[in-house]
Structure 1
Amino acid sequence: MKRRKLLCMLLAAVMLLGLAACGKGKEEPKDPNLLKVGDYELRYKGACIMEDYAGDDALVLTLDFTNNSEETTNYFWAIYETAMHNGTELDMGIVYLNPETLESVDDSQYLDVEAGGTVEIQTAFELDDTTGEVEVTFEEMEGTENDSITIDLSTVSREPAGGGSASLAGGGKGDGSGGEAGVSGGGTGASSSGELRDWWNGDWYGWWVMTSCYGYYEDMEGEWWDVCGTIDIGEDGMGTVTLWDEDYTESEPMSAAAVSLSESGTGEFGTLMSEGGWFTDIALEHADWIVDPGLMDYQDMIHISGYYENGEDEFTYDIYLRPWGTYWDDMYEEDLPYYYYDWYLPLIESGESMPDSIG
């Protein structure tokens, strides 16, 4: 009897030890602010509402980006982000921290981060209203793993951005040498001419081509794609140019440029000039784009030319655009966009507005 009692006591002790061990092995609850996306980690540090370049509301997120891969990279090339609000995908926002230097909240996304390193980044989304919740999903650029966070806009404070719709007259983006380049006529001409803005504002369609390709792009010499875009210039002469080709969409564009419009130029439509923003994965600065329709051989056409350089990778790009709905009957066959007959003409002949993707 004593042996049986002793055996029962030993079994009970073993069971208690087992339960204790199980308790120690229990996973701790996930930190809701720590997002794991493949080889990368994002720590959500907060959000606020700021005014974008046009004075509209934008949601600005601040995160720590940790690169746990074996190669140096940056947030822009590592992470693909989308934000949903009231069932609608939000467009990316352009929010200036300094309207004179055109420093933007998302400049940090282009900072290279070595393996194991961490950098604080910000990203911005346009808001139609400041109620409800915004779900932001972060996905590997080259992979399928993702994580997300939901932000209750009622808990988000409003902060000044220093940008809004302020004019850039008298200031420009630094040239890297410590000085600032002046903005020739930036933000001063179109404010007095609604007709001038009306010519530029709206939807555009055309094509773009790569030449003088080196490095990674060497085999892409002469390749070209159809491109769509929207231009939006405000009364202060400042605005944006958003472009997307066959591989992009309006909400995830190929380029988003901040621009200024001046009445000065060789023709009646003035000159459009870049002041900031980005093209693919490089930043645009003051006067990287100088667009003067008066130089064109065809009516109602603009030509955007630029130079891409990222390390040893280089190419020159030329973008030709005409207002959506324009017939290109005055041009040679070889100068027409690739989808002109099969996609563009059927849409404009049926009175359709420009879609947010091509093809």
Structure 2
Amino acid sequence: MKRTKLLCLFLAVLMLLSLTACGKGGKEEPEDPNLLTVGEFELRYKGASIMTDYEGNDALVLTLDFTNNSKETTDYFWAIYETAMHNDTELDMAIVYLNEETLESVDDSQYQNVDPGATVEIQTAFELDDTTGEVEVIFEEMTGSKNDSITIDLSTVSRESAGSGASNLTGGNKGDGSGGAAVSGGGQPREWWNGDWYGWWVMTGCWGYYEDMEGDWWDICGTIDIGEDGMGTVTLWDEDYTKSEPMVSASVSLDEAGTSEFGTMMSEGGWFTDIALEHADWIVDPGLVDYPDMIHISGYYESGDDAYSYDIYLRPWGTYWDDVIEEDLPYYYYDWYLPLMESGESMPDYIG
């Protein structure tokens, strides 16, 4: 009986201590709904606004802090894959220019190199069909499956003009970003890209009007001109076009990130024949090509029921293709290109 009383007293004391502890500090702090963890990366949602994209349509622009907790330097674009859902429909990425003359856009901040432990502020934009309801944005590792998400009530989002919330590096005890990833100055990457290019392009997966053109290919010439700010243009023409009336007129950006020392070129706007090019329609990384000093541009053409995939292979004008198998040579390589090149001629404004 005595033991039973002692046991009851002991349990009562434990319960009292437990209640006292809860009263002082046992209440758990609520999780920060704006802090997202995506694998080795951390995102802090800082706000959103509705801006106007380059076509005059509404776009939802998110501002986030991106912290790189991995062991390697990377940038947001290569680390995180985004999906935005609105009314059960996946939203397309939007192009919102801060400066239409220089083609500087709100998402340029995504290409800043971020050292391990560092944080940068980035922005990302999505096209909006209407400005009511909620948008769920899912962030996923580019090379993994871990993800996190946030839901934005559009009724709480204000309208702003592009440029009123420009991205900046953030400091603090997490460290600073290593700076913009756009290639600047007279460095080797920009010098390697700039100049005249020659090669061939092919159509595959053809539908509709182009169905009978499956596997057709043509020689192609082009000029790449990238400025010190890492922004530039790509002009391409095949046998049916000329430099003054090109097949492709694209605006591009050059980023230091990539699998080789030459970085990665990405489309930002412009035209491929009669359809618009948008941000990241092209992601061109020379380190992924089988041959040295070659770039591979891949894309997709769709106009109504007519569609095809295209692949463009280019090397700098003046390059011998001796290391390439016969089936990977341009059609006019021997009869047109080599005679011009070996005689020291500049690249013509037309082919043939």
Distance 1:96 1:276 in 2: 14
2:179 matched residue in structure 1: none
Change (3 A) 1:228 1:308: farther
Q: 1:79: which partner in 2?
A: 80
1:274 maps to 2:250: yes
Cα deviation digits, residues 182-231 of structure 1 (max 9, x gap): xxxxxxxxxxxxxxxxxxxxxxxxxxxxx99xxxxxxxxx99894789xx
What amino acid does structure 2 have at the position aligned with 1:17? L
Match of 2:296 among 314, 317, 339: 317
State the match for 1:254 in structure 2: none
Matches within 5 A, 1:202-281: 226=204, 266=242, 272-276=248-252
TM-aligned CA deviation for residue 272 of structure 1: 4.5
Q: Structure 1 326/106 Cα, relative in aligned 2: closer, same or farther at 3 Å? A: closer
RMSD: 5.0
Query: What is the SS of the residue equivalent to 1:154?
Result: helix
Q: Does the aligned pair in 1 maintain the 2:267–2:283 contact within 8 Å?
A: no
- Secondary structure of 1:17's counterpart equals helix
What is the DSSP-based 3-state SS (H/G/I as helix, E as strand, rest coil) of the residue aligned with 1:71? Answer: coil
CA contact (8 A) 1:307 1:314 kept: no
Counterpart residue identity of residue 148, structure 1: S
- Label 1:267 to 1:11 Cα distance change in 2 as closer, same or farther (>3 A): closer
Distance of 1:19 and 1:320 partners within structure 2:
64
Listed as ranges, the gaps of 5+ residues in structure 1 are 164-173, 179-210, 213-221, 230-256, 294-303, 329-333, 336-359
Alpha-carbon separation, structure 2, partners of 1:271 and 1:225: 14
CA distance in 1, matches of 2:282, 2:123: 29
How far apart are 1:103 and its partner, in Å?
Answer: 0.8
Would the aligned equivalents of 1:259 and 1:272 in 2 still touch at CA under 8 Å? no
Deviation at 1:28, TM superposition (A): 2.3
2:51 is aligned to 50
Give, in whole Å, the separation in 1 of the partners of 2:16 and 2:55. 66
* Superposition map of 1:192-211 within 5 A: none
Give TM-score scaled by structure 2 length.
0.53
Q: CA contact under 8 A between 1:266 and 1:292: conserved in structure 2?
A: no
Residue in 1 that maps onto 2:155: 154
Task: Mark the CA change 1:74 to 1:306 in structure 2 (over 3 Å): closer, same or farther.
Answer: closer
Match for 1:132: what amino acid? Answer: G
Partner in structure 1 of residue 316 of structure 2: none
Quote the residue 2:343 is aligned against. none
Going from structure 1 to structure 2, the CA distance change for 1:128 and 1:4 (only over 3 Å counts) comes to: closer
Q: CA deviation at 1:20?
A: 3.8
Equivalent residue of 2:56, what SS?
coil
Kindly state the Cα deviation for residue 7 of structure 1 after the two structures are TM-superposed: 7.2
Q: What letter matches 1:87 in structure 2?
A: D
Q: How does 1:81-230 map to 2 (within 5 A)?
A: 81-161=82-162, 176-177=184-185, 226=204
Whole-angstrom CA distance in 2 between matches of 1:272 and 1:114:
36
Structure 2, unaligned runs of 5 or more: 165-181, 187-197, 208-230, 236-240, 259-263, 275-280, 309-326, 329-352
2:71 is the counterpart of 1:70: yes
How far the C-alpha of 1:86 sits from its partner, in A, is 0.6
Q: Which whole-Å deviations, capped at 9, do the CAs of 1:63-90 have from their partners, x for residues lacking one?
A: 0001111111111111111000011000
Aligned to 1:15: 15
Once the two structures are TM-superposed, the CA of residue 310 in structure 1 deviates from its matched residue by 7.1
Q: CA deviation at 1:305?
A: 11
**Residues 61 and 290 (structure 1), Cα distance of their counterparts in 2 relative to 1, 3 Å cut:** closer
Specify the code of the residue in structure 2 equivalent to 1:65: F
Conserved in 1, the CA contact under 8 Å of 2:79 and 2:141?
yes
Letter in 2 for 1:135: E
Does the C-alpha gap of structure 1 residues 291 and 43 become closer, same or farther in structure 2, counting only changes over 3 Å? closer
Q: Which amino acid aligns with 2:102?
A: T
1:287-333 per-residue CA deviation (whole Å, 9 max, x = no partner) reads 9x89789xxxxxxxxxx9997457999641256987766799xxxxx
Identity %: 57
**Contact 2:81 / 2:142 at 8 angstroms: preserved in 1?**
yes
| Alpha carbons 1:308, 1:315 under 8 Å: kept | no
User: Hey, what's the Cα distance between the residues in 2 that align with 1:323 and 1:7?
Assistant: 79
SS of corresponding position for 1:35: strand
Give the residue type in structure 1 aligned to 2:15.
M
Is the Cα contact below 8 Å between 1:308 and 1:314 reproduced in 2? Answer: no
The letter of the residue matching 1:275 is S
Assess if the C-alpha contact under 8 Å between 1:50 and 1:159 holds in 2.
yes
Kept in 1, the 8 Å contact 2:80–2:140? The answer is yes
SS at match of 1:82: strand
- Count how many residue pairs are aligned between Structure 1 and Structure 2: 238
1:241 corresponds in structure 2 to none
